[in-house]
């Protein structure tokens, strides 16, 4: 089986990277990570990749005068490694329009909210401030606009009384670690297509039961 070759972009601790590493370790998983790129030399995710024997590159954005020049070097590194799909895993940089257009429907991101709600870096604070009873995470194809693009998969997570940003973030992160590898599997197995800027699950396997919070009797 030819496995889909992943390039993963990180900036920090790399917990979602670790979830992908763990998934790729299974013999029947249809993808493999060929390169991890970090824009920060102190990113803990680099250690995770190295421990798994995965090639790493550090490309510091602070060495570049503009976003596109940085993106072009990242693009070159990914292509040299043979990457076919790019996974953003805590990559704290907005990608240039040039980069996104070079990889059409081949860049995916995971965001800690049920998009299109609560975009940006403070999604948990937004969820708590608005009083929603459900939040979650979203895996989506990337567009040049922040936290936009066809939604591949979502996981709903309850907001509990007394939640803080940290407690809610921890609960959502657990869902992220399950959701991201599953979404990549769907893509690698050819079970996702994009039509009219919507991601379609071609096998039609979708959850049918609603989730209530507070629980309905």
User: What is the overall mean pLDDT for the chain?
Assistant: 96
Q: Which listed residue (111, 124, 140, 177) is catalytic?
A: 111
Strands (E), 119-195: 134-141, 151-158, 192-195
Residue 209's pLDDT band, with cuts at 50, 70 and 90, is: confident
Domains of the chain by start residue, with CATH: 1-103 (3.40.50.170), 109-204 (3.40.50.170)
Q: Provide mean pLDDT across the span 91-105.
A: 96
**Distance of alpha carbon 11 from alpha carbon 188, whole angstroms:** 24
pLDDT tens-digit readout, 170-185: 999 999 999 999 999 9
Q: Provide mean pLDDT across the span 76-101.
A: 97
pLDDT at residue number 216: 77
Is it the case that residue 1 has pLDDT exceeding 80?
A: no
Is it the case that residue 78 has pLDDT exceeding 80?
A: yes
pLDDT tens-digit readout, 121-157: 999 999 999 999 999 999 999 999 999 999 999 999 9
**Distance of alpha carbon 143 from alpha carbon 104, whole angstroms:** 9
Q: Is 111 a catalytic residue?
A: yes
Q: Provide mean pLDDT across the span 84-104.
A: 97
Is it the case that residue 104 has pLDDT exceeding 80?
A: yes
Token duo for residue 155: 């996981």
pTM metric for this prediction:
0.96
Token duo for residue 206: 């979708």
Is it the case that residue 210 has pLDDT exceeding 90?
A: no
């Amino acid at each position: 089986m030819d496995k889909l070759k992943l390039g993963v972009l990180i900036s920090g601790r790399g917990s979602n990277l670790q979830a992908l590493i763990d998934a790729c370790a299974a013999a029947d998983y249809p993808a493999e990570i060929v390169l991890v790129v970090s824009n920060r030399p102190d990113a803990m995710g680099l250690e995770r990749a190295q421990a798994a024997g995965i090639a790493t590159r550090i490309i510091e954005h602070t060495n570049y005068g503009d976003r596109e020049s940085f993106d072009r070097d990242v693009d070159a590194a990914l292509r040299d490694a043979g990457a076919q799909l790019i996974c953003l895993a805590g990559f704290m940089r907005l990608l240039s329009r040039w980069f996104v257009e070079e990889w059409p429907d081949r860049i995916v991101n995971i965001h800690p909210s049920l998009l299109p709600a609560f975009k940006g870096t403070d999604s948990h604070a937004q969820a708590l401030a608005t009083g929603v009873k459900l939040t979650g995470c979203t895996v989506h194809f990337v567009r040049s606009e922040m936290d936009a693009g066809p939604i591949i998969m979502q996981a709903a997570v309850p907001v509990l009384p007394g939640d803080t940003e940290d407690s809610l973030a921890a609960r959502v992160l657990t869902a992220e670690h399950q959701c991201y590898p599953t979404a990549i599997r769907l893509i690698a197995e050819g079970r996702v297509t994009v039509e009219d800027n919507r991601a379609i699950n071609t096998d039609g396997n979708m959850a049918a039961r609603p989730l209530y919070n507070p629980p309905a009797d």
